Structure 1
Amino acid sequence: MSKKEKSMRIVVVVACLLIQLCVGILYLWSVFNNAVTEHFGWNARSASMVSSFMIFGFVLGNLIGGFLQDKTNPRLISFVGCFMFCLGIFLTSLLTEKTVALIYLTYSGLGGLGCGFAYGCVLSCLQKWFPDNRGFASGLSVSAFGLSTVLFGPVAQTLLNRLGVPHTFMTLAGVFLLATMTACCFVRLPPRVQSVENQNKPAQLAEGLTPLRTMRLFPFWCIALSCFFINATWNIVVPVIKSLGMERGLSESIAVLAVSITGIANAAGRLGMATASDKIGRTNTIIFLAALTAVCAVALIWAQGVFYVTVIALTAFAYGGPSATFPAMTTDISGARFSGTNYGIAMLGLGFSSVVFNWLSGLLVEATGGFSASFILAAATCVPPIILMLVYRKTAKKIA
């Protein structure tokens, strides 16, 4: 890579990370949850499903956006995605008590799809700029996404306290629109460069497998199913981090701080474990994180006070790792050319996980009056990823 290309890469990386930082408020719903419930007089279970549907929209956006950017270019799709995301947040500010159910379309649907468009484009773009360090590139991209809660968690809570729900969403939409539209101008693909790693791979893999050919690979389905199960614990707890923390003895300010801490832990897991996966192997990384998630799920049954914050942070760390490792695993077995679409398909596991396990958790909470049964279920979902990674390890060798 020439000096000019290295300078260009720095500009692209900064722009991509700014986009991820803005659209990462996907994880801020636990801050908005109580305020939206009180402002609109909405029931808690309906409000908690907003996050689940947004994650599903986010995953669907990854798939559609990945396909479109593979056919066009990441700059165009990033523009479209960021505009959709900001429009969804703005339209949410216009809702009333009578139209609050439309938040599933504005915040979850339009906002989630736009977030997915932008996220997938940026992730795929950065992987192409770091062809021989895909784990690092994935971790760099998604860690910025996770850090959004650190920066915007306290900001959002302050805005909610001073401006109220409608003006908070309106303000955030305006700020994000200005920031993301500027950053999208600098998103671009690198010159076509063959990585050292690809030179030692079969020609078809170095070129890149199409989505249809990728879906015929058994290891691909190991990734998709692992994505479904390993994310269950986080999907169950993320909408209620703040409210559950207050039930477990935290003040409101400390509960909001806990949300911000999860952003730091999430980002650390994404960057740290993805980079580590380049050294210790992808499957070893996922197995370790699944085991850590299981321990956290069990601990959440009784965790109180500071221990609750610690466990939540470790859960966020364990969630962040796979979010950055799975994209690299998908590219490992299918090549980089169609990486946006291929990982978008695998991410459907996350989308279904968000809806299914949040729904099951809601039923269990209504039936038992607490979250203990939900966290037992969450712990059980950590077993399949371990088995699937052992299977992946054996089957992936046949196509390497």
Structure 2
Amino acid sequence: MEKKVNINVRWVQLVVGVIVLLFAGIIYAWSILNAPLKNEFGWNAAQLGLNFTITVSLFCIGGFISGLISKKTTPMLRLLIGAVLFFAGFLIASQMGNSIAVLYLSYGVLAGLGIGFVYNTIIGVVSAWFPDKRGLASGLMLMGFGLNSILIGKIADAYIKMENVGWRTTYIVLAIITTVIFIIAAFIIKNPPAGAVFPAPKGAASKDQGDVKALEIPPLQMIKRASFWQLFIFFILLASVGSASISFAKNIITDAGAADTFAVTMVGLISIGNGLGRLVSGWLFDNIGRRKTQFVTSAVAIVAPLVVVLALVTHSLGIAITGLILCYISYGFAPTGSTAFIGAFFGQKNFSMNLGILNLQLILTSFAATLAGSLKVATGSFVSMYIILAAFSVVGLVLNIFIKKP
């Protein structure tokens, strides 16, 4: 039975979703948060890069589990689970000694799982309120997720450098504030009422959704379709560019000749590209459709790493910053594309579970950071890594041509 709902209620859900993901995006401030650990414990780029890999991997697993239990649990319960895991992870990390295994288990496993629970719940629930503006809604939420580095990360860096505060206290404060935000959201975020009627999609979004609106494909059937695996591989190749850049943005900027303080400021400013990519790609999906947006995405992903290579070879700070901004923008296209394709290709009934499965590609993507760190240790430069990333993007462009609607 159809039910009329107060259309303004969904905007409250969206605003809360943006705020929650802004704080959950602490995962993207790793290049800032890892600096004091390198200084105090002497851990190298490869070791710290592995923590980012573990964090992203467990983020994906957390999202997968959240999607798996989404039909049998409430958004409140899943958000509270995420809050507890995140708090435990950061609190333990704040107390660790010179044991990188503790970092991996606390920050990587516990906090990663918690953020995964929160992310999947927020994206799945809030997107359901916007069938007519799915690209805009997901783009705004994911923009918040990507802007953490410039907003929360920059503040955290300032407190880390204060002698009377330091990184341990900063980690504790981040744990408390972020957990409180998650708990408050748990009492606000709710699924749309059964039978709720929303405005119909317009423009390109209407055409895209109309092509597949009758399809409601469950997870087991989804993973048997070629279109799913084409998307899975494409997003691995695309997101690898951003994964490596997010982990080592500060290092690349200092390699190009910047001072440490300036590099931290630039990491924050560059992260705008991540948020901008998410917002712009959401707008593009709604207005020019999936197909054209995917080709724009591939073009940016090919150019971005090549610009970084040029910057590292010429030691040009300006070119380095430009290249990293493009890398962040291309990375921002990935999560918005994932949500758009899952909804359009496989339907809304199993959206959370299907999105959790597709996002498992980030486990493989995260190894780009580990590889980048290892190549840096072996060669003393990130040049070879970014040549590899450019090649990935070219393969992604070719694959893009063969991605077809179910």
Q: Please state which band the TM-score falls in when normalised by the shorter chain.
A: over 0.9
Any residues of structure 2 matched to 1:83-98 within 5 Å, and which?
83-97=84-98
Q: Where does residue 149 of structure 1 map in the other structure?
A: 149
Q: Structure 2 counterpart of 1:116, which letter?
A: G
1:370 corresponds in structure 2 to 381
Task: Tell me the SS of whatever aligns to 1:231.
Answer: helix
Residues 143 and 203 of structure 1: CA distance in aligned 2, closer, same or farther (over 3 Å): closer
Which deviations, in whole Å up to 9, do the C-alpha atoms of 1:78-110 show, x marking residues without a partner?
Answer: 12112211221111101011x332111110111
8 A Cα contact 1:70 1:340, kept in partner: no
Aligned to 2:364: 352
| One-letter amino acid of the counterpart of residue 248, structure 2 | V
Of 178, 185, 188, the residue aligned with 1:186 is 188
Shift of residue 287, structure 1, vs aligned partner:
2.0
Is the counterpart of residue 252 in structure 1 residue 253 in structure 2? no
Structure 1 CA distance for aligned equivalents of residues 373 and 100 of structure 2: 20
- In structure 2, the CA distance between the partners of 1:110 and 1:72, relative to structure 1 (3 Å rule), is same
2:46 and 2:374 in contact (8 A); partners too: no
Question: For 1:81-120, what aligned pairs fall within 5 Å after superposition?
Answer: 81-97=82-98, 99-120=99-120
Structure 2 distance, partners of 1:69, 1:51, is 26
Q: Give 1:34's aligned residue.
A: 35
SS in 1 for 2:6: helix
Assess if the C-alpha contact under 8 Å between 1:23 and 1:82 holds in 2: no
CA distance in structure 1 between the partners assigned to 2:342 and 2:55 by the alignment: 23
The residue that corresponds to 1:335 in the other structure is 347
Q: Which amino acid aligns with 1:91?
A: I
- 1:320 counterpart residue number: 332
Tell me the matched-pair count.
Answer: 391
Q: Which residue of 2 aligns with 1:49?
A: 50
Please tell me the residue identity of whatever aligns with 1:377. I
Question: Which residues in structure 2 correspond to 1:216-231 (within 5 Å)?
Answer: 216-231=224-239
8 Å contact from structure 2 (residues 21, 142) kept in 1: yes
Hey, what does 2:179 align to over in structure 1?
A: 177
- Whole-Å separation in 1 of the counterparts to 2:139 and 2:225: 25
Which shifted more, 305-314 or 340-349?
Answer: 305-314
| Cα distance change of structure 1 residues 71 and 338 upon mapping to structure 2, 3 Å threshold | farther
Note the C-alpha offset of 1:8. 1.9
What is the CA–CA distance in structure 2 between the aligned matches of 1:103 and 1:276, rounded to whole Å?
39
Over 3 Å counting, the alpha-carbon distance change for 1:31 and 1:200 in structure 2 is closer
Whole-angstrom CA distance in 2 between matches of 1:138 and 1:204:
22
Q: Is the 8 A contact 1:19 1:184 kept in 2?
A: no
Query: Which amino acid is 1:344 matched to?
Result: G
Q: Determine helix, strand or coil for the equivalent of 2:309.
A: coil
> Which structure shows the higher helix fraction?
1
Q: What amino acid sits opposite 1:134 in the alignment?
A: R
Paired AA for residue 360 in structure 1: L
Which residue matches 1:22? 23
State the partner residue of 1:305: 317
Offset at residue 306 of structure 1 (A): 2.4
Counterpart in the other structure of 2:134: 134
AA partner of residue 96 (structure 2): L
The amino acid across from 2:307 in the alignment is A
CA contact (8 A) 1:286 1:322 kept: no
Residue 68 (structure 1) aligns with: 69
SS at match of 2:69: helix
Where structure 1 has 5 or more consecutive residues not aligned to the other structure, the ranges are none
Q: Could you tell me which amino acid in structure 2 is paired with residue 160 of structure 1?
A: I
- Whether the aligned pair in 1 keeps the contact of 2:213 and 2:344 (CA below 8 Å) is no
Q: Deviation of residue 294 (structure 1)?
A: 1.5
Give distance in 2, aligned partners of 1:169 and 1:104: 15
Question: What TM-score results when the alignment is normalised by the length of structure 2?
Answer: 0.91
Letter in 2 for 1:155: I
In the alignment, which residue of structure 1 is the partner of 2:161? 161
Deviation at 1:54? 0.7
Q: Normalized against structure 1, the TM-score is what?
A: 0.92
Aligned-pair RMSD on alpha carbons?
2.1
Q: Percent identity?
A: 28
CA distance in 1, matches of 2:281, 2:210: 25
1:13-59 per-position Cα deviation (integer Å, ceiling 9, x unaligned) = 22211210111010001002221111223233211221121111111
